[in-house]
Structure 1
Amino acid sequence: MNTLSSKTKQDYGSDPVSVRETDQYRAEYVHAFVQKWDSLIDWDARIQSEGSFFIDKLKERGCRQVLDVATGTGFHSVRLLEAGFEVVSADGSAEMLSKAFTNARSRGHLLRTVQADWRWLNQDVHQKFDAIICLGNSFTHLFNENDRRKALAEFYAALRHDGVLILDQRNYDALLDYGFSSTHTYYYCGTNVSVKPVHVDKGLARFEYNFSDNDKFYLNMFPLRKSYTTRLMQEVGFQKIETFGDFQETYRESEPDFFIHIAEKAYQSTDE
């Protein structure tokens, strides 16, 4: 695993909106940003807002072993452990994994962590899973279509024959078509923090994260349209895809902050 960075400042160079590379995420999650991330989420408030949605969906499908490929600070890994699932926690950021491990220890859990790039996931993770979760708008760190296809193919390969992928994304359709509007009801539940886009075009959504001590951090993300994401999933091989808006099965396209895609591998052998 890479040595943890002690950096407190992000560096996007002289033209931040020109930074449109998948590998940029490694430099975005500097130590100071990661240490503040949980104040953005607010674990207790987030539990109340999303309820048991992910736990229920996984249990409905008989899932037991879960790979959390975008662990972040560990929120969903810990929730799934506490619900009785076996969990492997992966992330591309060593800073995030370190914070997740500490958070889990403070709650009496020992995370099984692995630092992994999704594009070569199966080089670092050597088992099959009933489910993979990729949450927190993390998939939109991938700026190149080949990277997105490669990552989805790696997820597909890491699943058992009847496995399921749960992947979420911000509602970039609404952002691109109507501008920014968000209640932060479900995902960013912290108080005295704010998240807003400071630049949006068809190839970049740059978000500014403001904290109560006036610290500011940024994330550059690719604004994936919902239909594009589900099409890529189908082209990689996923057979059945359901999309929820802020945990609801029915919604108006412009209303949800986030979309949640549940994609089933759903392989059926010819003798069945």
Structure 2
Amino acid sequence: MGNEQNVATMANQEQEFGEEPLEVRESGHYQDEYIKGFAERWDDLIDWDGRAASEGDFFIDVLRQHGAKHVLDVAAGTGFHSVRLQEAGFDVVSVDGSPNMLAKAFANGRKRGMILRTVHSDWRWLSRDIVGRYDAIICLGNSFTHLFDENQRHRVLAEFYSVLAHDGILILDQRNYDALLDNQGDGPSHQYYYCGDDVKAEPEHVDEGLARFRYTFADGSVFHLNMFPLRRDYVRGLMREAGFQQIDTYGDFQESYKHYDPDFFIHVAQKAWTEDEEDQDGGQ
């Protein structure tokens, strides 16, 4: 009876930010943000077909260029990239810290005739839950910005580094918070990442320590996410400190871009040691 009550509570729960939502700046709070109702609507925001068309084979091509076969999707969400990569022939393990998102990802895989191998894990203790080494880790969907504490960011990147093979790569994306913080550009275009019609994803509050986004769906439901606005060069610096040497940063899947133009940055960081430590970055 107790388990049934817990399930019912989770199904009916609402996001809880308290009386001061702008003061909610704690990494573990994502568990309270990705409630079942939000997870069930997440695919409306992404629009799988629109997202596939906008990014093309970018991630598939990068992984193949680096000879990756075994991929750890550490922010699987509702499974979009796990499914795409598995369809492309990669061996994929799907990880997420939200059981609601993992359940939706598993269901999405079943709809497409595949069984996703899912693992519920908090990145801060990833090596505790993951066995073996992987050719590549992908951390997509702006997920890394759920970490509000700098020490935890260092810890997570160290965890990623530790479960990669010696010549493995990390692909990590982030929203272009530089543009938001510096009041440059027209705001997110939703051309590449969040392609759903009749869904709005817009910044409600931005300061140097918080980016609070509001998500409004066609049925009138409203949800929020609180994230840390990480600047591009700061993230690249964290990667270097974690031991990644070669770091290429793309803007909306392009090598060359003006700094404030992209909606998202995608970092491709190599673990392999090279004598030439100069990294390349097409963005100016």
TM-score norm. by structure 2 comes to 0.92
Corresponding position of 1:97: 102
Aligned ranges 1:234-253 → 2 under 5 Å: 234-253=240-259
1:22-53: CA deviation from partner (whole Å, max 9, x where unpaired): 00001000110000000000001111000000
1:8 is displaced (CA, Å) by 4.0
Select which of 162, 168, 188 maps to 2:194: 188
1:183 is displaced (CA, Å) by 1.3
Aligned ranges 1:217-256 → 2 under 5 Å: 217-256=223-262
Whether the 8 Å contact between 2:72 and 2:94 is mirrored in structure 1 is yes
Aligned ranges 1:22-33 → 2 under 5 Å: 22-33=27-38
Separation (CA, whole Å) in 2 of partners of 1:236 and 1:194 = 35
Q: Does 1:265 align with 2:271?
A: yes
1:268 is displaced (CA, Å) by 5.5
Aligned ranges 1:69-88 → 2 under 5 Å: 69-88=74-93
1:204-227: CA deviation from partner (whole Å, max 9, x where unpaired): 000000000111000000000000
Root mean square deviation, CA, Å: 1.3
Corresponding position of 2:161: 156
Aligned ranges 1:102-181 → 2 under 5 Å: 102-178=107-183, 181=187
Separation (CA, whole Å) in 1 of partners of 2:248 and 2:204 = 31
Corresponding position of 1:42: 47
1:178 is displaced (CA, Å) by 1.4
Whether the 8 Å contact between 1:136 and 1:168 is mirrored in structure 2 is yes
Aligned ranges 1:1-12 → 2 under 5 Å: 5-12=10-17
Separation (CA, whole Å) in 1 of partners of 2:274 and 2:15 = 47
Separation (CA, whole Å) in 1 of partners of 2:274 and 2:249 = 22
SS of residue paired to 1:136: coil
Whether the 8 Å contact between 1:8 and 1:33 is mirrored in structure 2 is no
Separation (CA, whole Å) in 2 of partners of 1:240 and 1:148 = 19
Separation (CA, whole Å) in 1 of partners of 2:117 and 2:218 = 33
Separation (CA, whole Å) in 2 of partners of 1:257 and 1:194 = 15
Separation (CA, whole Å) in 2 of partners of 1:31 and 1:117 = 18
AA aligned to 1:148 is: R
1:9 is displaced (CA, Å) by 1.5
1:88 is displaced (CA, Å) by 0.3
**After TM superposition, where is structure 1 displaced by more than 4 Å over at least 4 residues in a row?**
none
SS of residue paired to 1:178: coil
Separation (CA, whole Å) in 2 of partners of 1:14 and 1:214 = 22
1:123-160: CA deviation from partner (whole Å, max 9, x where unpaired): 00011000000000000000000110000000000000
Q: Does 1:206 align with 2:212?
A: yes
TM-score norm. by structure 1 comes to 0.96
The number of aligned residues is 268
SS of residue paired to 1:208: strand
AA aligned to 1:240 is: Q
Q: Does 1:20 align with 2:28?
A: no
Separation (CA, whole Å) in 2 of partners of 1:119 and 1:12 = 22
1:77-106: CA deviation from partner (whole Å, max 9, x where unpaired): 000000000000000000000000000000
Corresponding position of 2:282: none
Separation (CA, whole Å) in 1 of partners of 2:273 and 2:98 = 32
